[in-house]
Amino acid sequence: MPLSTSSSDTNTDAYARQTASDRPGVAQPVPERPVPARRWGAILVGAVALFGVLIGAWELYWRASGVGPGTRNGFGLWAIQRRRIDDGEGNATVLLGSSRLHFDVQLPVWERLAGKAPIQLSYGGTSPMTAIEDLAADPKFTGHLLVGVAPELFFSGGGFGDGAARYTHKQSPAQRVGQWLSMYLVEPYLAFDDPDFALATVLKRQPWPARPGKHWFMDVRRLAIYTRDRDAWLWPKVAEDLRYRELARDIWRESFTDYPGDPTPAERIKTAQEQIERMVKAMALLRSHGVEVLFARLPSDGEYLAYEDRAFPRAQTWDALLAATHAQGIHFQDYPQMQGFYLPEWSHMTRSGAERFTAVFYGIVEENFWHAGGQDALPTGTSATP
Amino acid sequence: MVFNSLTFLVFFACVLALHSLPLRWKTRKTNLLLASYLFYSAWNPPFVILLWVSTVVDWYAAQGLVRARRQAARHAWMLLSVVANLGMLVYFKYGQFLLESFSAVMASIGVAYHPARYDIVLPVGISFYTFATMSYTLDVYLRRAAPARSFLDYALFVTFFPHLVAGPIMRPTELVPQFAAPRRASAQQLRFGLALMTLGLFNKVVLADSFLSRAAERVYDATAAAGTLDAWMGTLAFSGQIFCDFAGYSTTAIGAALCLGFAMPDNFRFPYAAVGFSDFWRRWHITLSSWLRDYLYIPLGGNRHGPARTYFALMTTMLLGGLWHGANWTFVVWGGLHGVYLSTERLLRARFAHYRPGPVAFVGLGILTYTLVNVTWVFFRAKTFGKAWSVLRGMVGGNTDAVPILPTFNLCMVAGIVAALLLTHWYMRSRTLEAVLARTPPLIIGMLWGLMLFAIVAAQGDGSAFIYFQF
């Protein structure tokens, strides 16, 4: 609280003015807001010109690096798809998993085969559990739910996109308008408009000296290209640029290694059991409004698969999930036709591979589950083996 | 909507265009009022009703104050305004806090009381506009100001979008007279206003959000205890973040108003160059500190009734000022610490009335002030007392087994930005931005402006809300 003036400075500033703190207990007058005596017109023109040059150079730099304008995959984009369920498409097929279900299932292929594209609610780097609980609490959803199970994420919970459902329900009108403006007026024209190329992110990824005493994990780099309906496919650079592909693999490798402070195997399994319990509760709600649920474990390869087999043994995760939820699932290792696809960084397919895979995958779903006999077609709690 | 969003960019362009049309002054003011309601309802449309309630109650309370002939009637009209405004504030902002505190008290005497969850959304900016509208009736009650003659002018004073949700907290005498005669920004005002908006957004989007917030989050949201370096760097990061965030908002608001031809008061004066805490509060959130002084500290007796009453008024003001910031006891402790600092300073000033620090001591006292301010930021940023104690323990070297939290990148950014911030504050300590700009070559100003614009766009802010919106 201003009780006295402590500054002893001599104020020779021609623009100096008093503030309310100098005038206790009186009506405050209209403030002064002088404009410095400068040629502001010329300054503004110069500033805009410099901005134009810099932003143009920045855009050219990213385009030269193989980046093109595209859609930003954020909570606002997710919210548009999530709202479709409440806006008359409650009986739709919903895809809800992590990046594998997002990148490896191509919506146009599915649409060609099924006559209607599913709603894509998968979110990279994220367990779908929170979004599943959100759907389970929504009686308007009565359709089919295909849950992607990427062991490391599904059985750990959380992730980058864990707040998407909450954001959707709290999204303000201003945020909805902002999403629309961004999607139609900015994203189609600017290549650098991607969280991966934000100024702070770019600076952070420079080779800063490591601080001793702790392992500092690398961030996952850009992996996919998105469309406005949240169709997505692997960024071609991941497959075509060997250095980039190796970088992507190195980033995955970090999570294959156990560092001090990481969960022990027993803790991992305990967390997995907690996630399964969450899923059991969600399943009860989903079934209460007639939703058919099918789990899918999509392909992984190489060191990634070896890590998943070691850290999240199938018997204690996938099989336990199906048994506890009395649901059916598709595990890629049970279907020869789901194997043999090229996964450049061991986790996701190329776009052309994903198109072929979608046709195969849709065929399995259609033939063995939802259209051919529904949930009673096979004994529950097991994978359907062809 | 928030200033750092595409939505605001389009909204502001439309408002500027509309305001520059050759329409009647009353029409243009009506446009501004409607635009301000649109600005507010873009968060949560139903909450506009609260804004209307606050506006209408204070309008009629002020009219009643003027008509009242007996002192008791004047008291009654004033109390109506205070109870209505504070009632809304308490209901929406402090309901859960009061229930939880009551439960804790009951539990301490062995009574198990578990109230139902108070699931109410806090209307954005309610603390700011209730203070603005209250100042209207209180100024009329204290006979400092006459009531507005036009309801339109008064409603626009309450709702004017640049200051509506996070200040500067305007007094009616500062803004209502500006609505009396037609106003349109000159070309110079428009350009300088745009420059101020760029500076404000640079502070918010680039410095606060892109480079400082993450370091503060890593330390304050971590479950692990922080070592000395991390605890200090996390706290310094927050000290920079909250300044750049809030001063950035104020600067953007002042610039937006100037683009429309209106003047808004300074809210910050380089506070991290303060020497002493009375000096700090003359520089930090000036419109709140002067509001609390005029409508709380002075009515409580101020310094006119002896030392004991002065210290009581001072501590009460600062404790309530802390609570104004948030419904949590950590904010009360933050305010209480500032109250203790101010009281101690007052005692020392009385004891050493003739002491005049030399240049080294002056800077030393400034560093001491900044250091102690950082201690208070720990309670402001930490969500629980447990976390606050943990960070404070880290700052004094008590967490000996802590592992590093911040990587080199965060450490370098925090050190660089906070050092630059402190040097800037000390350089600008007794200067104004306008005076410095008036002496700076136009080429340099243009280059800095262009660079800031580039950094804002390249930073790709995520449109995160300003910290003070939650208050």
**pLDDT by residue (tens digit) across A347-377?**
999 999 999 999 999 999 998 888 633 443 4
Are B425 and B296 contained in the same domain?
Answer: yes
- At B201, the amino acid letter reads L
Sign of the CA dihedral with B183 first, then B9, A185, and B202 last:
positive
Q: Is residue B210 part of a domain?
A: yes
Structure tokens at B454: 């580039």
Of B349, B412, B462, the CB nearest to A4: B349
Q: B19, B163, B285, B325: which one is catalytic?
A: B325
**Is B338 tagged catalytic?**
no
Are B85 and B231 contained in the same domain?
Answer: no
Are B408 and B263 contained in the same domain?
Answer: yes
Are B419 and B352 contained in the same domain?
Answer: yes
Are B107 and B149 contained in the same domain?
Answer: yes
Which residue in B27, B88, B28, B29 sits closest to B56, CA to CA? B88
Residues of B in contact with A38 (CB under 8 A): 437-438, 442, 445
Q: Measured between alpha carbons, how far is A56 from A42 in angstroms, rounded to an integer?
A: 21
Q: Is residue B6 part of a domain?
A: no
Of B43, B144, B430, the CB nearest to A27: B144
Q: Is residue B449 part of a domain?
A: yes
> Whole-angstrom distance between the N-terminal and C-terminal Cα of chain A?
77
In chain A, whose CA is at the least distance from the CA of B437? A36
**Secondary element (H or E) of residue A18:** none
Are B87 and B137 contained in the same domain?
Answer: yes
Between A247 and B124, name the one with better pLDDT: A247
Decide if pLDDT at B301 tops 50.
Answer: yes
Q: Is residue B1 part of a domain?
A: no
Contact flag B289-A21 (C-beta cutoff 8 Å): yes
Contact flag A35-B41 (C-beta cutoff 8 Å): no
A7 contact B CB<8A: yes
Decide if pLDDT at B194 tops 90.
Answer: yes
**Rounded mean pLDDT of B126-150?**
92
pLDDT at B463: 63
Residue finishing a domain among B153, B183, B213? B183
Residue finishing a domain among B155, B183, B211? B183
**Rounded mean pLDDT of B37-56?**
92
Predicted TM-score of the model (pTM): 0.90
Annotated domain spans of chain A: 40-67, 90-170+232-371
Express as a percent the part of chain A with pLDDT over 70: 93
The structure tokens 């402006």 sit at B449
Instruction: Give the count of domains, chain B.
Output: 2
Q: Is residue B4 part of a domain?
A: no
Are B399 and B353 contained in the same domain?
Answer: yes
Residue finishing a domain among B183, B208, B238? B183
A216 contact B CB<8A: yes
For the CA atoms of A222, A225, A227, A230, the dihedral, rounded to the nearest 10 degrees, stands at -60
Confidence of residue B276 (pLDDT cuts 50, 70, 90): very high
Chain segment A7-45, per-residue pLDDT in tens: 444 446 778 888 898 999 899 999 989 999 999 999 999
Q: Is residue B16 part of a domain?
A: no
Are B137 and B28 contained in the same domain?
Answer: yes
Q: Is residue B256 part of a domain?
A: yes
CATH of domain A90-170+232-371: 3.40.50.1110
Q: Is residue B45 part of a domain?
A: yes
Contact flag B292-A1 (C-beta cutoff 8 Å): yes
Residue range of the domain that includes B297:
189-470
Instruction: List, as ranges, residues 310-369 from B with C-beta within 8 Å of A.
Output: 314, 317-318, 321, 342, 346, 349, 356
* DSSP label of A331: E
pLDDT at A259: 80
Residues of A in contact with B48 (CB under 8 A): none
Closest chain A C-alpha to B454 CA, distance in angstroms: 5
Are B285 and B377 contained in the same domain?
Answer: yes
Contact flag A58-B278 (C-beta cutoff 8 Å): no
Q: Which residues, in sequence order, are CB contacts of B90 under 8 Å at separation 6+? A: B98
Mark the ranges of chain A whose per-residue pLDDT is less than 70. 1-12, 371-386
| Average pLDDT value for chain A | 90
Q: Which residues, in sequence order, are CB contacts of B172 under 8 Å at separation 6+? A: B135, B136, B139, B145, B148, B154, B157
Are B170 and B229 contained in the same domain?
Answer: no
Are B144 and B233 contained in the same domain?
Answer: no
Instruction: List, as ranges, residues 63-102 from A with C-beta within 8 Å of B.
Output: 74
Are B60 and B195 contained in the same domain?
Answer: no
Q: Measured between alpha carbons, how far is B414 from B237 in angstroms, rounded to an integer?
A: 6
